[in-house]
Amino acid sequence: MALMTGEQYIESIRKMNMEIYQFGKKVENPVDDPILRPSLNSVRMTYDLAQLPEYQDLMTTISPETGERINRFTHIHRSTTDLRNKVKMQRLLGQKTAACFQRCVGMDAFNAEYSTTFEIDKKYGTHYHDNFKKFMLYCQENDLTVDGAMTDPKGDRGLAPHAQADPDLYLHVVEKREDGIVVRGAKAHQTGICNSHEVICMPTIAMGPDDKDYAVSFAVPVDAEGIYMIIGRQSCDTRKLEGSDLDVGNVEFGGVEALVIFDDVFVPNDRIFMNGEFEFAGMLVERFAGYHRQSYGGCKVGVGDVLIGAAAVAADYNGCPKASHIKDKIIEMQHLNETLFCCGIACSAEGQPTESGNYMINLLLANVCKQNVTRFPYEIVRLAEDIAGGLMVTAPSEKDFRDPKLGPVIDKYLRGTNDVTTENRLKILRLIENLCLGTAAVGYRTESMHGAGSPQAQRVMIARQGNLGMKKKLAKAIAHIED
Ligand code: SF4
Ligand code: FE
């Protein structure tokens, strides 16, 4: 089975035996949990769209390894066209879900592991690349969703992993056996982990010789013994328990993050992709982060498209679509959003092959892309809230709207243009609220700041990649300075 249907995907997650906690209780079945289900629906979209002929070229590709049609989320990029198609696919999925669809972290981990394991093996004669390729083929053949786990809790940010007061604040090897290793620690902010089949763990920073036990990378099923997850709260999450579609804003789709604990988890030898080669930790981090910073030039743009559309609909319903300042604000939102897309496409078009043969994005441009993402969605949100008006945060609940006494009053006084129902006006405002302040704000707004690395992480990379020395030479040449 090279491609799963959406329904097969849902049932495959139902069959897993994950240990998930939320609100102090064990979640018996995430598939039927009202708070978690919308996030599963977003991942499902990566399967559903892959079945449709009109999206086949974007959502799927032929695996060079097996000759089979596979989902692009399990593909190793072999050209700049592949890299551009990845970004376009992510924009499409952002448009269809208005949420984080979660499956990209695994795709980005795949491509970072592919080239890094190749280079470790070249230096040390290890077999990590073969291990990784075997795992990759298993995921391609079974169309699996893979989580990419990088972010350790990190404790005291001023101390290296081995120097922390608590040795578990970075995930590390606690036992080496004949048949594998045992790892302990945690990964924070894990996007989509409870909707994934497998998880690839990677180090979170460059490491030194004393951090050898922390320089570890591997893949395990998310229901492996010793793994458990604590679901993160999202703003307005319990609205999903109230039974009101109107109040939720985006009833079908969402994203999810969790704190994932690795409580002495066994990893068999053939699932290990790095084990002690500390000088390659930085390479893996830089490549994974680079790919994920490219990703944001796709997914956030797609969600931005929905928010821009919602703001324009709100303006229509308010009766002011032709006001010059409204038109100008919508133009500004589009300008900002398309600038992010330009960055995603540019870092892809400027990609280069690695030693292993897969394609890497241009690191400088990918970091510029993500740096812009830490700013522009905030401005887009500001403009959307400006256009929507205060009602997006003061509108009464659906229960009041359905009440025999209050409903007609709300309908009368909260109407905009007379040809649009008050209910539709409230629906579009709730969607804007969801994207700017509610559950989707995790994926659109704050994740734009911290996802794929906080702003300073990109500035470090821009400083490293920006080639300031060359620019100084250019200036001196023009100014006729010889020194
Ligand atoms: Fe994909 Fe964007 Fe979510 Fe990252 S934030 S997993 S790139 S949708
Ligand atoms: Fe993310």
User: In this predicted structure, what is the pLDDT of residue 155?
Assistant: 97
Hey, what are 465's tokens? 């990649």
In the predicted model, what is the mean pLDDT of residues 161-182?
Answer: 98
Q: Fold match between 6-282 and 283-473?
A: no
Q: Ligand 2 centroid vs 416 CA: distance in angstroms?
A: 37
Q: For the domain made up of 6-282, give the CATH fold.
A: Butyryl-CoA Dehydrogenase, subunit A; domain 2 (2.40.110)
Nearest CA to ligand 1 atom 7: 295
In the predicted model, what is the mean pLDDT of residues 233-257?
Answer: 96
For residue 353, the Cα-to-chain-centroid distance in whole angstroms is 24
Nearest CA to ligand 1 atom 5: 100
Arithmetic mean of pLDDT over the chain = 97
User: In this predicted structure, what is the pLDDT of residue 213?
Assistant: 98
* Res. 287: pLDDT tops 90: yes
User: In this predicted structure, what is the pLDDT of residue 2?
Assistant: 85
* Res. 94: pLDDT tops 90: yes
Ligand 1: residues whose CB is within 6 Å?
100-102, 104-105, 191, 295-296, 299, 443, 447, 451
User: In this predicted structure, what is the pLDDT of residue 1?
Assistant: 60
The catalytic residue positions are: 100, 104, 191, 257, 292, 296, 299, 447
In the predicted model, what is the mean pLDDT of residues 48-57?
Answer: 98
Q: For ligand 1, pick from 296, 301, 303, 374 the residue to mutate: most ligand atoms within 8 Å of CB.
A: 296
In the predicted model, what is the mean pLDDT of residues 85-108?
Answer: 98
Q: Ligand 1 centroid vs 214 CA: distance in angstroms?
A: 26
Which residue in 284, 248, 387, 251 sits closest to 331, CA to CA? 387
The position carrying tokens 């981990």 is 109
Atom of ligand 1 nearest to the CA of 108: 7
In the predicted model, what is the mean pLDDT of residues 247-252?
Answer: 97
* Residue 120 near residue 128, CB atoms below 8 Å: yes
Which residue in 278, 467, 292, 441 sits closest to 367, CA to CA? 292
Residue 166 has a CB neighbour count (10 Å cut-off) of 10
Q: Ligand 2 centroid vs 421 CA: distance in angstroms?
A: 36
Q: Ligand 2 centroid vs 141 CA: distance in angstroms?
A: 25
pTM of this prediction exceeds 0.95: yes
Residue 365 makes CB contacts below 8 A (sequence gap 6+) with 343, 346, 347, 350
Which residue in 138, 149, 146 sits closest to 73, CA to CA? 146
Which residue in 231, 177, 179, 224 sits closest to 200, CA to CA? 224
Can you give the residue ranges of every domain in the chain?
6-282, 283-473
Nearest CA to ligand 1 atom 1: 104
Nearest CA to ligand 1 atom 6: 102
Nearest CA to ligand 1 atom 8: 100
Which residue in 372, 219, 204, 382 sits closest to 282, CA to CA? 204
Q: For ligand 1, pick from 83, 104, 296, 444 the residue to mutate: most ligand atoms within 8 Å of CB.
A: 104
pLDDT digits (tens, 9 = 90+) for 112-159: 999 999 999 999 999 999 999 999 999 999 999 999 999 999 999 999
Architecture of domain 283-473: Up-down Bundle (1.20)
Q: Ligand 1 centroid vs 258 CA: distance in angstroms?
A: 14
Proportion of the chain above pLDDT 70, given as a percent: 100
pLDDT digits (tens, 9 = 90+) for 319-357: 999 999 999 999 999 999 999 999 999 999 999 999 999
pLDDT digits (tens, 9 = 90+) for 27-45: 999 999 999 999 999 999 9
Q: Ligand 2 centroid vs 248 CA: distance in angstroms?
A: 22
Hey, what are 65's tokens? 């390894």
Q: For ligand 1, pick from 191, 199, 348 the residue to mutate: most ligand atoms within 8 Å of CB.
A: 191
Nearest CA to ligand 1 atom 2: 299
Residue 150 has phi, psi (to 5 degrees) of -115, -45
Atom of ligand 1 nearest to the CA of 292: 7
Proportion of the chain above pLDDT 90, given as a percent: 99
In the predicted model, what is the mean pLDDT of residues 410-439?
Answer: 97
- Of the listed ligands, the closest to the CA of 100 is 1
User: In this predicted structure, what is the pLDDT of residue 10?
Assistant: 98
In the predicted model, what is the mean pLDDT of residues 385-410?
Answer: 98
| CA angle (227 as vertex; 225, 232 as ends), nearest 5 | 155
pLDDT-based confidence at residue 422 (cuts at 50, 70, 90): very high
